[in-house]
Amino acid sequence: MKLTETMKAMAILIKKDLRLEANTGQLVGTMLLFALIAGTIFSMSFLPGQENIAAFFPGIYWFTIIFAALLILNRSFHRDKKNSCQEAILLAPVSQENYLLAKLIFNYMLLLLLTIIISPVLVILFSAYPRGSLGWLIIIILLVNLGLAANGTLLAALATATKFSEILLPILLLPVLIPLILAAVEGTRLFYITAFQFSELQFWLLFIILYDSICVMLTVILAPYLLK
């Protein structure tokens, strides 16, 4: 009984965010436009058509997505801060964990939308077509985005609780993301080198799953202390 009710509450929260987004289109617009511009500038400054695309394309790909994510993560909390919406939501029978998890899922959805639209653009701009089985690549992208959304939501909630959220979020988030960035870049690079090694892919996959589960667990554990 309790589980279904929390699910219902979370579904309502996510629906609220989605509706807000559908009406204003603020976050999606900013995010997509920024990623497009950044991708274009990256591809112009890194000389497309180079031989060793494996050396730099995974890094550029993930950094375009991370920078775009940095733009929206704070905003998704700031919207709730207006007119003390966050307090009102937490006064309703919704636990802090559910609120944060709902935000996490919403941010994850946004990141997935970004990835779906921006990945083909980047691949075409750099003419960096991945080899090997695409299924594994998609799984890696899904998992890395989950980690990004989880960590980003947690730290954005932390940053927006201060007065300096805009400057704090990148400084707090990027060092904590280093293991995930490493795993993402190395995991993606495997699809651009000639000798595809499944054992390495397996390690990075397991690592990303471990990272994601730790992040989600931290979100649940720390939520009551984070939101008052």
Binding stretches for other proteins (CB under 8 A): 154-155, 158, 161-164, 168, 171-172, 175-176, 178-179, 182-183, 186, 200, 203-204, 207, 210-211, 214, 218, 222, 225-226, 228
Q: For residues 62 and 70, what is the distance between their CA atoms, to the nearest angstrom?
A: 12
At its nearest, how many Å lie between other proteins and the CB of residue 21?
27
- The answer for residues whose C-beta is within 8 angstroms of residue 98's C-beta and 6 or more apart is 6, 9, 10, 13
CA contacts within 13 A on the Cβ side of 14: 16
Of 166, 115, 172, whose CA–CA distance to 143 is shortest?
115
- How many angstroms separate the CA atoms of 28 and 150, rounded? 18
> Is the Cβ of residue 102 or residue 169 nearer to other proteins in the bound state?
169
Shortest spacing between CB 164 and other proteins, in angstroms: 5
Amino acid at site 153: T
Nearer of residues 15 and 81 to other proteins, judged by Cβ = 81
Distance, CA of 145 to CA of 72 (rounded, Å): 14
Rank residues 18 and 182 by Cβ distance to other proteins and give the closer one.
182
Q: How far is the CB of 180 from other proteins (least distance, A)?
A: 8
Whose Cβ is closer to other proteins: residue 26's or residue 200's?
200
Minimal distance, residue 219 CB to other proteins, in Å: 10
